[in-house]
């Protein structure tokens, strides 16, 4: 059985794991907020996919850090889709942080988000195209949730 978490962090490790998200995780833990991140909570022998999805479902809040290469990760997109399903069905709070990306680029699939989705479409066969459509929906939905933007040391809403 997976423990209940206050916060589930969804992020692209190479983009922000050792900088912004790493610092956010440390601050949440210091404030005694029970936070799950796959980089910090997995134990030896855990089934990675199942453990992460159970932790996501057992969390009260998901913080999604959308960064330049977020959409290039199939795993991040699968997590995002699951997070938005939990938001709709379980009333889980979702807090997006747009880390050096414009929310309208996420919403309209422009820039690196459009490039990543085009790559996914090209690499999936037709029978898998439904998965790409779910990811597009998830990116559009999360960009429509009120969140925070962080660009080169500045916060804005």
Residues belonging to the active site:
79
Please give the Cα distance from 54 to 146 (Å, whole number). 25
**Distance in angstroms between the alpha carbons of the first and the last residue of the chain:** 37
Please give the Cα distance from 153 to 124 (Å, whole number). 37
Q: Hey, is 64 helix, strand or coil? A: strand
DSSP 145: S
CA distances for 35 relative to 22, 23, 25, angstroms: 12, 13, 7
Please give the Cα distance from 3 to 22 (Å, whole number). 21
Closest residue by Cα to residue 11 from 73, 92, 103, 100 = 73
């Amino acid at each position: 059985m997976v423990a209940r978490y206050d916060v589930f962090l969804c992020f692209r490790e190479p983009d922000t794991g050792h900088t912004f998200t790493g610092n956010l995780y440390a601050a949440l833990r210091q404030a005694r907020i029970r936070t799950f991140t796959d980089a910090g909570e997995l134990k030896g022998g855990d089934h990675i996919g199942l453990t992460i999805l159970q932790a996501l479902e057992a969390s009260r809040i998901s913080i999604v850090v959308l960064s330049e290469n977020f959409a290039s990760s199939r795993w991040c997109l699968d997590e995002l889709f699951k997070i938005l399903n939990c938001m709709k069905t379980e009333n889980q709070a979702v807090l997006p942080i747009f880390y050096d990306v414009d929310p309208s680029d996420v919403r309209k699939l422009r820039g690196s988000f459009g490039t990543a989705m085009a790559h996914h479409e090209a690499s999936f066969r037709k029978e898998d195209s439904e998965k790409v459509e779910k990811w597009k929906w998830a990116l559009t939905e999360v960009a429509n949730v009120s969140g925070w933007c962080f660009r080169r040391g500045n916060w804005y809403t």
